[in-house]
Amino acid sequence: MSYGTRRRVLDALNRRYIYGRLPLLHTIIFLIEMAAATRLAAKFNAYYSEKPVLTTMVTNAILGGVADTVAQLITAFRSRPGAQNDDLSIEIRDLDKERPPTLGELGHQKNAPPPFDFERLTRFMSYGFFMAPIQFKWFGFLSRTFPLGKKNPTMSAMKRVAFDQLLFAPFGLVCFFTFMTVAEGGGKRALTRKIQDVYLPTLKANFVLWPAVQILNFRVVPIQFQIPFVSSVGIAWTAYLSLTNSSEDEKLEA
């Protein structure tokens, strides 16, 4: 299939909604990613026992892709025609249909949703892929430094959380915004502005969510599942980061 043909197919898919609500192309990509994640989850233990770092990298990449796709789907859902007047109720005419809609019955809109950004998806998957070895080393360090003994495992878990949130979380956010800015072609000025505008609010949001998640993670979850657990919970968090990053990019371009 030539580039022009692929472009026309993608454009056609991008102009369609499912029942006027869900952008078709975004939904297809999301389902493909979830199928890949499900297949990986089914064989995770076998893969991890052979190549733990690579397995973690691939897992992070897929879940990062899911998160960004969710973020792009949310953006497209909000910006669809008639979104301001949509109360999210299911219309009676939809319930009366006796069969699922064919491709031709899917809502075709003159005002298309924001086109799916494959470059942005690639950036998020790449970030998850390359960040995984650092996370792997960090979680191993915490496990060795604060072992969960039988005497007082909760205290050790709390120490892990404290180290993780006070040291790694601020560092991780700097890595995220730096990677995204450079990958988007931004320079020092763009990075400085992004750090000034969104770093502290994002760090505060991090402190609201992640301490509780990490207490559960370090206290209950086996070490080989800790990064996948964080990445799974982090789908919502990464979607938030994706929306935050893209929103700031729009401000910089304005």
3-state secondary structure of 100: coil
Calculated CA dihedral for residues 49, 54, 58, 63, nearest 10 degrees: 70
pLDDT tier, 95 (very low <50, low <70, confident <90, very high otherwise): very low
pTM for this entry: 0.78
From CA 159, how far away is CA 215, in angstroms rounded? 9
Nearest to 59 by CA among 145, 128, 156, 142: 128
Tokens of 68: 């960004």
**C-beta atoms surrounding 84 within 10 Å:** 7
What pLDDT, on a 0 to 100 scale, did the predictor assign at position 84? 53
From CA 123, how far away is CA 43, in angstroms rounded? 26
Beta bridge partners of 17: 23, 107
Summarize pLDDT for 186-202 with one digit per residue, the tens: 889 999 988 888 899 88
Summarize pLDDT for 13-61 with one digit per residue, the tens: 777 888 777 888 889 999 999 999 999 989 998 999 999 999 999 999 9
